[in-house]
Amino acid sequence: MAPRDVPYIVVSRLPLYLRALTFLAEEGKEITSSQELGKKLGLSPAQIRKDLSHFGEFGKQGTGYEIGYLQQQLKRILKVTAKWQMALIGTGDLGRAIVLHYGGFERRGFHIATVFDRDPRKIGKKLGQFEILNSQLIPQYVGKAGIKIAILAVPASEAQNVAENLIQAGIRAILNYAPITLSVPHSIQVQYMDPVIYLQRMTYYLE
């Protein structure tokens, strides 16, 4: 099945399956089932089997799934068998925290390759192992390096303009931490990381 023929909601669950399988493997397990995965993720076993069936047959009835094999197949489907290079734009508190304190990207196949900021007081200084580059260099650097993914950690007032510059430079996927919805072409993938949105979704259900 072609990638764009698979429903978005199905693709969005695949990383959850991969994460659950990783935890199971770290516990020393070699075999799992849709029932076990469903219990861990709050999904029905039938939903898990249906999701995976979009991409092939990965288990045996009565036996379950071989964890290592299913991990490899999901990584292949999600295209994370090799590391993806990323550009980080914005070195405020959030950007600094991502570079200096968050190691989750690297462990899961994503490598921050370069860091940009427009503040002349920061340009040329070191942030961890990186020299902070001038944001004006995005077009020439990103294209030359073949970087396709960017992390946007800039104020909302700057986010749209920076996103447009990134897209012109060849970026095709943006992880956006700015509290604003970006206007981008349909071919550009954007994911939003605004914790207030998720808090507001939860408070709806609270007394």
pLDDT of residue 103: 83
Residues 6+ apart with CB under 8 A from 194: 177, 179
In words, the CATH class of domain 84-197 is: alpha beta
Mean pLDDT in residue range 62-85: 93
pLDDT of residue 4: 65
Whether 36 has a pLDDT exceeding 60, the answer reads yes
Instruction: List Cβ neighbours of 9 (8 Å cut-off, separation of 6 or more).
Output: none
The ranges of the chain annotated as CATH 3.40.50.720 are 84-197
Is the confidence at residue 3, as pLDDT, over 70?
no
The CATH-assigned architecture of domain 3-78 is Orthogonal Bundle (1.10)
pLDDT score for 158 = 96
Measured CA to CA, the distance from residue 66 to residue 31 in angstroms comes to 5
The answer to whether residues 170 and 185 touch, using CB atoms and an 8 Å cutoff, is no
Q: What is the pLDDT of residues 91-117, one digit of tens each?
A: 999 999 999 999 889 888 899 999 999
Distance CA 16, CA 20 (A): 6
CA atoms within 13 A on the CB side of 132: 19
Residue span(s) of the chain under CATH 1.10.10.10 come to 3-78
Average predicted confidence (pLDDT) for the chain: 93
Residue 124 has pLDDT above 90, yes or no: yes
Of 85, 92, 155, nearest to 114 (Cα)?
85
Q: Give the model's pLDDT for residue 167.
A: 96
165-190 pLDDT, tens digit per residue, is 999 999 999 999 999 999 999 999 99
